[in-house]
Every structure is written in C-alpha cells, then in structure tokens.
Chain A
Amino acid sequence: MRKDTARDFSDGRSRRPPRGDAMTSDLTAGFGERAVGFGERAEGFGERAAASSVAFEGVTKSYGPVTAIEDLTLEARGGELLVLLGPSGCGKTTALRLVAGLEDPTSGTVRIGDQVVNYVDAKDRDVAMVFQSYALYPHLSVGRNIEFPLRARQVPAPERRQLVATVAESLRLEQLLDRRPAQLSGGQRQRVALARAIVRRPRAFLMDEPLSNLDAQLRVEMRAELVELHTRLGITILYVTHDQVEAMTMGQRIAILNEGVLQQLDTPEAVYDRPANAFVAGFVGSPPMNVIRGRPVAEGDAPYVAVPGGRVGLSPPLARAVEDRYLSEVLVGLRPEALSLDPNGTIGAVVSVVELIGHEQHVALRLPGGQLVWVRTGSDAPRMRTGEDVKIAARGAVHLFDPQSGKRIDADPQSVERAGTGSL
C-alpha cells in the first residue's frame, strides 16, 4: 500500500520532484527492479578490477609536531565494508586520504590489493572517493559529472555513454542528467557523487562522512541504500564516520580510532558487547556506557565494587581477575540497558533529567559524587520526577577497565565461559 503511494508520487515527478519519504521509498523500489540489470552490466566491465583489500601497515602520519595517525595497522578485506569510527580529529579522514593518495605517509606502508601505493600518484591508484561535501563539479551537468572519471581515463565515447546510462539508471538519476548540481537536492547530489564513484568500478571505495550533510530521515534511507549497494556490487568500502549509529548499522567491521591510535577493530556486536577499553565503551552506544570509578572489595563469595552511592556486584572469576592485577581501583562500565530502577537496587541516586523517546525513557541520575549515570527503561515504566531519590540495580553485563591504561579486564577464560559477564 505504501509503495503504491510512492508510485503515485513518482508519476507526478515531471511536475514537481518528489521529496523525502515518497522519493526514497520509490527509489528503493526502483533499486529492486533494476538491480539485476546493473549487476549484469557490472560483470561486463568488472574484469578491469576486482574488489581489492586495503591495508595500512605500521602507518604514521605527522604534520610537523602533530601526529595525526600513529602506527596504524589495519586491513579492509576485499569486498568488505569497514567503518573507521572516531571523534573529530581522531585521524580517520587522514587515514582515508592516505589511501586516496591525497596525503603521503610519514612512515609505514599503504597497500591496495597486492600493490604498495606509497609512491603511486592519486590519479593512478584506481580508487574512488565520495567527499563529505560531495565535491561535484558545479560547472558540469550531472551526466558530465558522472562521466568525468571515464573521460579522465580516456574511455572511448560510446562506452562512456553506456556506462553513464547504466549507472544513472541504477541510481535513478536518468531524469537529472542535464541538470547542474546547484539545482539538485541534498539526497540527489549524494546519489550523483555515488554514481561518479561507481561508474568506473574502482578497486576500492573511500567514503568520507558521505551522509553527514543529509537530513535525519534521508540519512536513514541512504544508509540502507549504501549497504544494499555494497552487497550488490561486492565492493570494498572504507567508510569514515563519527556517527556510531551509522557505524553500527553499516559496518561489517568497525575500526575505532582516537587521537590517531587504533582502539579496537572488530564486528559491531563485539565492539558493543566487549569494548576493548574505556574509550570505546564510552564512545559506542547511545546513551553511552556509564563508566564509574570504584574500589574492588573481595568479600567472601560476594565480591563487589564500591562505587559512589552503593555497590556493583562482580562474578567471582571477574573479581579474581581484578585481584590478580593488584588493582586498588577499577572503572566499572555499565550500559544504560544493563541498569534498571529498582527499589531493591544497590546504588542510590537522584533523578536529574528524564528523556521520553517514544518507546523508551532515558533517565539521567546523579550519583553522590556528582557523576551522571544513564538508565534506559521502557516507556511503560513509571515517569520519574526530577529530584526524586531512587535505587539503581545492575542487571546486565558488567565491564571492567584498568583505570591507568583504560584496558578491558576480562575474567580468566578457563574459570568462566562467558567472560566479562557479572551478575548481581
């Protein structure tokens, strides 16, 4: 039913370009139908380059005294969608530019497939890049924009026309080929930028926050679109974002960077369930994981960590791991969904802010020391009032981190099957 509505909108396109939901669901519908055609053609010129792996081997990049990337070793496998995630200034865009050839590494090796590309000029690297700004050529029509990389590579005109037509069809851009970028909406520009990247079947795709200039709804649609495109074309994508939701939903693996240093490289599930350190724990998840400083107490068979306002129980194996390290303090990581408001809880706190988000509530509570702790509850839970005294119970996984290094503390794998799981 909903698809029908979208079709009706698309029929009226000649009069008024459809926008928002109507356009994107129509777009998705079109993709399904046309995917086969593109796939066939894609194989036709796929012989030029297969999806290559992209690897950093001990790469450092400094600008004078500032180190943007420090000893980065990382590989995106052929055909993989690898997300580089991190806060702004963490070096993720620099990493992308190193692969593109727009920056030269200070030391280390950048490899695309089997080729070391350190000394290969950007124009000869055969990778495509989608810029945050889209970087469409404002003086060229959409068709000419898409054609540009083919012209630059001296692809003969008939082949050029055919490739542009195929890609334009697959991204629903046929109607827009004669327009200038300035006449397009954000989503349309985004698709032109994608088309320009896809058209020559490069060895790898580099995407620098490609969705950050779109409005929220379109961003969600394009996210799915990109994942679909990746699956369909079997291409290698190195995808840079600071948005952890984007990273979690799109990446096959996520590489989290902070201050130029790789923090963790793993699947979205593993990054979420077993963050390698306190930084990753605090960066991934929304609201982020609560990280509270506390003092481990070994009290018979009920060990716990004393935190401001109460205690968090530890499983005996985890407590033993803490004990083995002779730590007098630890960082306790608790996801908001691992906490609940419970009169029998073990931590006392005061309600500070209540955010009602449709199906759930995010409650910010202040511990006696002043730290804020987020708790996620169902929307059917009773509404809290600001200033109310409550008790928090930890029900899910308890993560522990070394307060000095920030590194994760795991229970000895022999003594417990599922490491890192504590219970009350």
Chain B
Amino acid sequence: MGARRRARGAHARRHPRSRTRRQVVAAYLFVLPALVAFGVFVFYPLVKTAYLGFFTTPPAPNLPSHYVGLSQYRSVLSSSDFRDSLWRTVQFVLYTVPAGIVLGIGLAVLANQRLAGIRIFRTIYSSTVATSAAVASVIFFTLLNPQVGLLSYWLGRKGGSGVLQSSSLALPAVSVVTIWQNIGLTFILMSAALQSVPDDLLEAARVDGASSWRRFRSVTIPLLSPMIFFATIVGIIGGFQSFGQIHILTQGGPNNHTLLLIYDIYKQAFQYDNTGYAAVLSVALFAILLLLTFVQFWFFQRRVFYAR
C-alpha cells in the first residue's frame, strides 16, 4: 500500500504539470512584484471606482456622501447625457477607424513597391508614431486657427468662424487629427502584414490570369484580414480612450459636440467634482473595452486554423 503510494508520488513528480509546494511558492514570489504593481495601480482603483458609483456626490464639499446602491448606476446609464456621449464616441470611432485603416493599407501598398528611395517614404509614413497626441493636437490647433491657420485659409474660412468652433465640423476635425496621428501605427501594422504575404502566392495568381486588382482583392486583402481585424479592434479601443486631442482642441465643445465618453468622465470627476457620476461612466467604459478585448482574444484563438 505504502509502496504503491510512493510509486504514485514519484510518478506525479515526473509529470510536468504537477508541482511541489516549494515550486508554487517560488512561482508566486516571482509574480509578486507585478501583482503588487497591478494591485495598487489597476485592481484597487477598479474596485474603488465601482464602489464610488454606489455613492452620490454631496452638493457641497465636506458634506457626507450618500450610499444609494445601484440606483445611481441605473439613473446615469439611462440618462440622455450618457447616451449622447456614447453615441458621439461611436461616431468618432466610425469616422476614425475605417478611414484610418483604408489609408494605412493604401500607404502600405504604395510603400511596398520596389522603388529607389522608397525607404524615405516609409519613414515619413510611419513618423506619426513618434508624435504624441498632444503634439499632433497643437500642430492642428495652429493649422486650424481661424486667424493664422493654414488649413483654415485653404478651407476658405480665414477670418470666419473656426472649424473647431463649428458644431457640425468640430467632431470631424478632431477625427481628422486622430486619423493623422494614428496613421503611422496603422501603416506599420499593414506594411508588416503586407510583407508577410508570400510572393509566390501573388505570382501564382498572376500566372493564373488574375489582374492586379483581382490579386489585391482576392489574395492580398484576405491575407491581410487578421491584421485588419487587429487594427480595427485596437483602433476602436484607442478611439474610446482618445483624450489628448479633445482636451487640447475643443475641451468637449462647442456645445458638447465633441464630448466623448472619456472626456465626460474627466469633466465630471475633475471639473464638477461629481465623482459618483464619473465612477459610473468609468465602469461603463471599462465594460465596453473589456468586451472588445474578449472579442479580440476570441478571434486570435480562432485564427490558429488560418495558419498554413
């Protein structure tokens, strides 16, 4: 009996999955620093935020806040203010992501030609990666200045009302800045994907009688599709988190026309001291991004079948 148990023990130790107590302790010691960092900067704020959502913000400082349970979640999430800022965010994503990807693919295809000096263009196209949202915003803020801005001049709005002050043009303008700022990353992603398309597939398609457009549509694009999907998800997540350009260009104005979800959170929390309200919005934003991330994980697990 004892011998048998010993034999089983020996077997278990040989098995790669089973670990001794010492190994488990050592493993946790190794991940401890990361756990502490995540705990302090991610998990604790996350829980605290969700918790803050249960309290209404007092009308004046130094008054006690009231525990209201889920009722604040219900009222905020069903409010038209929330729906409006969510819808504006969706619009913003719709303006920026598809256009950014189409442009990124276009530039990647152009820069993938075998031409002398093409590296210069590759460098230029990818250069916006090295530009922060703040810098990009300041550049465009100047360009769009109604008095001295070059873009305002070209758009025939010199001296008139500024683009960023127009309720119909402010969100598109912020979107253009965002597209410009993201183009470098999209370009790099698409170039990498494009270079991984095997030459012999395109040559096979050519010999098979496919025109260049057909080769692009039927071979290149399908082979780029995993990267297109990745760029789309990353773009959407980035869109939901776009803050710098809004803050510098419009501060959510004019008349809340560029008030995206995340800027709403910022305003509620740090301008109106409405922490309860902001906490609810933060939890909503977190839920949306979590969902998108799961979609991405799911896709990349499925993609295994795609490999040759």
Interface residue ranges, A against B (CB under 8 Å): 100-102, 122-129, 131, 133, 135, 137-140, 148-149, 151-153, 180-182, 196, 200, 206
Interface size class of B (residues with CB under 8 A): 20 to 34
Q: Which residue of A lies closest to B214 (CB)?
A: A152
Distance in Å: Cβ of B59 to nearest Cβ of chain A: 60
B201 with A102: CB separation less than 8 A: no
Separation of A127 and B207 alpha carbons in the complex (Å): 7
B187-226 CB contact bits vs A (8 Å, 1 = yes)? 0000000000010110111111111001000110011010
Most buried by A among B206, B209, B214, B307: B209
When distances are taken between beta carbons in the complex, the residues of chain B under 8 Å from A100 are: 203, 207
Q: Which residue of B lies closest to A124 (CB)?
A: B209
Decide if the interface of chain B is mainly helix, strand, loop or mixed: helix
From the candidates A123, A137, A139, A153, name the one contacting B206 in the complex (CB within 8 A): A123
Within 8 A of A (CB), among B162-207: 198, 200-201, 203-207
B306 at interface by CB-CB < 8 Å: yes
Q: Given contacts A135-B198, A152-B214, is CB(A102)–CB(B307) below 8 Å? A: no
When distances are taken between beta carbons in the complex, the residues of chain B under 8 Å from A139 are: 222-223, 225, 306
User: How many residue pairs, one in A and one in B, have C-beta atoms under 8 Å apart?
Assistant: 74
B281-308 CB contact bits vs A (8 Å, 1 = yes)? 0000000000000000000000001111
When distances are taken between beta carbons in the complex, the residues of chain B under 8 Å from A200 are: 209
Separation of A312 and B151 alpha carbons in the complex (Å): 91
Q: Which residue of A lies closest to B209 (CB)?
A: A152
When distances are taken between beta carbons in the complex, the residues of chain A under 8 Å from B211 are: 123, 152
Q: Which residue of A lies closest to B203 (CB)?
A: A102
A135 with B200: CB separation less than 8 A: yes
When distances are taken between beta carbons in the complex, the residues of chain B under 8 Å from A152 are: 205, 208-211, 214
Separation of A133 and B200 alpha carbons in the complex (Å): 8
Q: Given contacts A133-B198, A139-B306, is CB(A123)–CB(B204) below 8 Å? A: no
From the candidates B206, B207, B210, B308, name the one contacting A138 in the complex (CB within 8 A): B308
When distances are taken between beta carbons in the complex, the residues of chain A under 8 Å from B205 are: 137, 148, 152
From the candidates A131, A138, A140, A153, name the one contacting B209 in the complex (CB within 8 A): A153
When distances are taken between beta carbons in the complex, the residues of chain A under 8 Å from B218 are: 137, 148, 151
Q: Given contacts A124-B209, A182-B307, is CB(A138)–CB(B223) below 8 Å? A: yes
11 A-B interface contacts by CB (under 8 A) = A124-B209, A125-B207, A126-B209, A131-B200, A137-B204, A137-B205, A137-B222, A138-B307, A148-B218, A149-B209, A182-B305
A102 with B206: CB separation less than 8 A: yes
Distance in Å: Cβ of A351 to nearest Cβ of chain B: 47
Beyond the given pairs A102-B207, A129-B207, 18 more chain A to chain B contacts, judged by CB atoms under 8 angstroms and listed by A's residue number, are A123-B206, A123-B207, A123-B209, A126-B209, A128-B207, A128-B208, A131-B200, A131-B204, A135-B204, A137-B222, A138-B201, A138-B308, A139-B222, A139-B223, A139-B306, A149-B209, A182-B307, A182-B308
Q: Which residue of B lies closest to A121 (CB)?
A: B206
Distance in Å: Cβ of A121 to nearest Cβ of chain B: 8
When distances are taken between beta carbons in the complex, the residues of chain B under 8 Å from A140 are: 222
When distances are taken between beta carbons in the complex, the residues of chain B under 8 Å from A182 are: 305-308
Q: Which residue of B lies closest to A129 (CB)?
A: B207
When distances are taken between beta carbons in the complex, the residues of chain A under 8 Å from B210 are: 123, 148, 152
From the candidates A101, A137, A181, name the one contacting B207 in the complex (CB within 8 A): A101
Q: Given contacts A123-B206, A196-B208, is CB(A137)–CB(B219) below 8 Å? A: yes
When distances are taken between beta carbons in the complex, the residues of chain B under 8 Å from A102 are: 203, 206-207
Across the A-B interface, the 4 shortest Cβ-Cβ residue pairs: A135-B204, A149-B208, A152-B209, A152-B210
Separation of A282 and B283 alpha carbons in the complex (Å): 77
